[in-house]
Amino acid sequence: MGEVDLPGAAHLVLADGVVHLDPAEAVFEAMLEGWARQQRTRFLNVEGTIKPRLTLVRRFAEFTGEYPWRWRAEDVEAFMDWHRARRREQGRGFAVSTARNYQNGLRLFGEYVTDARYGWPARCLELFGEAPAQILHEWNTVTHTNDYEGAPGRRPLTYDEVQVLFDAADGRVEQIRSRRRKGALAALRDAAILKTVYAFGLRRQEATMLDLADLRHNPRAPGFGRFGGLFVRHGKASKGGAPKRRTVLTVPEFDWIVDILEHYLAEVRPLFSPGKHPALWVTEKRGRISRRRLDEAFETVRADAGLPGELDLHCLRHSYVTHLIEFDYPERFVQDQVGHSYASTTAIYSGVSDEYRNRLLQRALKARHADLWEDRS
C-alpha cells in the first residue's frame, strides 16, 4: 500500500533522511504530533479534547517505560490498577466514567498508530522490528451499561436547599460589609450569577461567556423587559462541531431573576469599571469571570449554607430541569430550554420529588375515577 497524504501520516511528520540521536523518542513525538494534526482536521477542541488526550498518552508511556510499538494489553490493566490504588490511598474513588475516558483515549491513539494508511506500522517495523498493536479490546475495557454514571451525590437541590444556598450568598455580602473587608462587590456579583445559573439552567461555560448583547426581549412576555431570555452562544458542542446556540426563555416561576439582573446591571457591574468590556460578569481586574472562579463562588456559598460537599455548581442545572418538570412544563420545552439533543438526557437530569409524583397520581385517579372523587368531596 502506498503512502497517502492523510493529515497525521508518518511521512508528513517524520522527515526522511534525518538521523536522530534518539530514533525511538523522535518517532514517539512524531506520532503524537501526527495524532494531534489528525484530530485538528476533525475540528476537535484543542484545549478540552486534544491536549488532555496527548497528556494521557504521555503518562501511559511514562508508566510503562516503553514506546507504543512495545505496549501490551497487560500494560493497560496495570495502568488502571495503579490509578485505582492511588485514588484509594488518597481517600478518593476512581469513577467508572473516568476509567472509561482513559481507556477510550488510549484506544483512539491505538487506532491511529495501527492504521496502515498513516504509515506507522511500516515505519516502526523498518526502524525497530516491531509494529504498534491495538491493546484495548472489549475484554479489558469498561462496558457502558448505564445512561448515567456520575457521582451518586450529584442531584437536584430541593426548594429549601436552593433557598438556603441563596440566603447564604446574600448573607455573605452582609458579613463582608459588617467586617469592613474587601470583597463585598465580588460577593454581590457571585450571588447574582449563581441565581442566574439556576434561573436559566446554565452550564459553567454558558454562564461565564454571556455578554451584555445576549440579554433578550421576549415580545410574548413584555413585562420582563430586556430580561425576557438569554441568548446562549457557547453551549456544549458535539464532537467536532461548533458550540451550540439556543435562547433560554425566562419563565414566570423564576421571574424574580429580572429584579436581580436589573440591580446587578444598574448598581453592581458599573462599580467594577468595566469600560467597554462586553462580558455580563466581570472581575475586579476588568476581565471576564472564569469557570474556576464560578466554581469557587459556589463552593464558598455551599459551605456557608451547610449543604453537602458532594453538591456542585452543575447541581443547579439539575435543579432547574427538575423544578421545570414539577411546574408541569412539557418535556420538549424543558429539553429545548437546557439545550439537550435527546429527551433521555433531560430525563437523567430530573429528580422529581415524592410530593410531585403523588400530585400526578391524584390527578390520574381523579381523571379515571371522577365519580368516586366527587363522592369524597
Catalytic residues: 203, 236, 314, 317, 340, 349
Strands 244-249, 215-216: pairing is unpaired
CA 270 vs CA 31, 180, 211, 264, 331: distances in Å: 51, 21, 15, 9, 39
Cell of 60: 501511559
CB 170 within 8 A of CB 192: no
CB 60 within 8 A of CB 106: yes
- C-alpha to C-alpha distance for 106 and 103, rounded to whole angstroms: 5
Which residue's C-alpha cell is 491495538? 134
- C-alpha to C-alpha distance for 33 and 269, rounded to whole angstroms: 44
What DSSP string runs through 295-364? HHHHHHHHHHHT--TT--THHHHHHHHHHHHHTT--HHHHHHHHT-SSHHHHHHH----HHHHHHHHHHH
Cell of 268: 453592581
Other residues' Cβ atoms within 10 Å of the Cβ of residue 232 = 25
CA 275 vs CA 26, 207, 213, 215, 287: distances in Å: 49, 20, 15, 18, 10
Phi, psi of 24, rounded to the nearest 5 degrees: -65, -45
Q: Which helix (H) or strand (E) holds 249?
A: strand 244-249
Which residue's C-alpha cell is 484543542? 46
Cell of 155: 442531584
